[in-house]
Homo-oligomer: A and B are copies of this chain.
Amino acid sequence: MSHRVLIYSRFPKAMMVRIGQRFELMDAAGKPPHEMFTTEQLAGITAMITAGGTPLGADMMDRMPKLGAIVCYGTGYDGVDLAAAAQRKIAVGHSPGANASSVADIAMTLMLAATRRLLPADDYVRGGGWSSAKPSPMMRPQAGMRGRRIGVYGMGEIGRKIAARAAAFETEVGYFSRSRHDVPYQYLPSLEALADWCSVLMIAVRAGADTHHAVDAGILKRLGEDGCVVNISRGSVIDEQALVKALADNTIAGAGLDVFEQEPHAPDALTALPNVVLTPHIGGHTLESHTAMQDCVIANLEAFFAGKPLPYQVRGG
């Protein structure tokens, strides 16, 4: 008999197929599980897979009294109430580092596209502006990468990979993180100091209560009118309303965002702006990182059902 696993969020089909070959899936398809399954069904669940950002609190855990493992697909687990899980002796696992390269790549993609104004440039060619030599303020030359100061906020696995990529573009890389790391980049003592120092702020910090709206109107003002902010972490780290205002009144020059406060929604005020590049949380969305994340999910679940500790357990989870 194969083990039953609750699917709490919506996942790519390829993932469902692969996990489905090993376990019996109870797919809530992104809806509240108690709307999809009976109380009895929920009572039988011992393990579940969730996207780390999906809210998962004590009330939901209490609907599944036999729950022993919450397995997050991806690095993040900010939606999971870790204290509530610990209290109920539920192990929390994730996929550390499995998507770090892919996420760092999308961070670079967004930075380059935003600073070189790729979207207006493509539009200028497709719309005939180029062939008719139509003047376009968006096509004025911008500062390139060489000599730019790239500030990385957070120096975990993704932050390091962003820093290594950015340094190859002949930039200066600096960072701020709760603690200094043994990396060949300048350490700035605060987020304020990093924003003052850099012209591109790359947000790679782990989301949580301590980083909620860490990038606010004050930080954006410090970034300055030539500044650009890129977020591939979680939408909650930026005050989105302040960002929209800073972009609209040219307090900063541009932004590249893969994450938003209320996913899967990007506010209309943001999507109306020409100086932003927006992607639908696809940082970890590559073939190889999906495979690597699935490997972690499967390893965590197999260990759990074999009565062993999760190999990829969240610290404190």
> Which residues of A are interface residues toward B (Cβ below 8 A)?
10, 12, 14, 101-102, 105-106, 108-109, 112-113, 116, 118-119, 121-122, 124-126, 129-131, 133, 139, 141-147, 164-165, 167-170, 264-266, 271, 277-280, 282, 285-290
Q: A121 contacts B286, CB within 8 Å?
A: no
Tell me which residues across on chain B come within 8 A of A106, comparing CB atoms.
Answer: 116
Tell me which residues across on chain B come within 8 A of A265, comparing CB atoms.
Answer: 130-131
Bound form: Cα–Cα A182–B265 in Å:
50
Q: A143 contacts B280, CB within 8 Å?
A: no
With A105-B112, A164-B168, A169-B105 already in contact, the answer to whether A141 and B287 are too (CB < 8 A) is yes
User: Which partner residue on chain B sits nearest A167 by CB separation?
Assistant: B168
Q: B287 contacts A142, CB within 8 Å?
A: yes
Q: B101 contacts A278, CB within 8 Å?
A: no
Q: Give the distance to chain B from A156, nearest Cβ to Cβ, in Å.
A: 17
Tell me which residues across on chain B come within 8 A of A119, comparing CB atoms.
Answer: 119, 122
Report which of B121, B142, B170 forms a contact with A279, defined as CB distance below 8 A: B121
User: Given A121-B280, A125-B278, A143-B286, 13 more contacts at CB 8 Å?
Assistant: A101-B144, A101-B145, A106-B116, A108-B108, A109-B113, A116-B282, A121-B278, A130-B266, A131-B266, A144-B287, A144-B288, A144-B289, A164-B168
Q: B271 contacts A126, CB within 8 Å?
A: yes
Bound form: Cα–Cα A266–B285 in Å:
31
Bound form: Cα–Cα A130–B279 in Å:
9
Pick from A112, A142, A167, A277 the residue with the most CB of B within 10 Å: A112
Q: B146 contacts A288, CB within 8 Å?
A: yes
Bound form: Cα–Cα A147–B102 in Å:
11
Q: B126 contacts A118, CB within 8 Å?
A: no
**22 residue pairs bridging A and B, Cβ less than 8 Å apart:** A12-B141, A14-B141, A101-B144, A102-B146, A105-B146, A112-B112, A116-B282, A118-B118, A121-B279, A121-B280, A122-B279, A126-B278, A130-B265, A131-B265, A131-B266, A133-B264, A139-B282, A143-B286, A143-B287, A144-B287, A146-B288, A168-B168
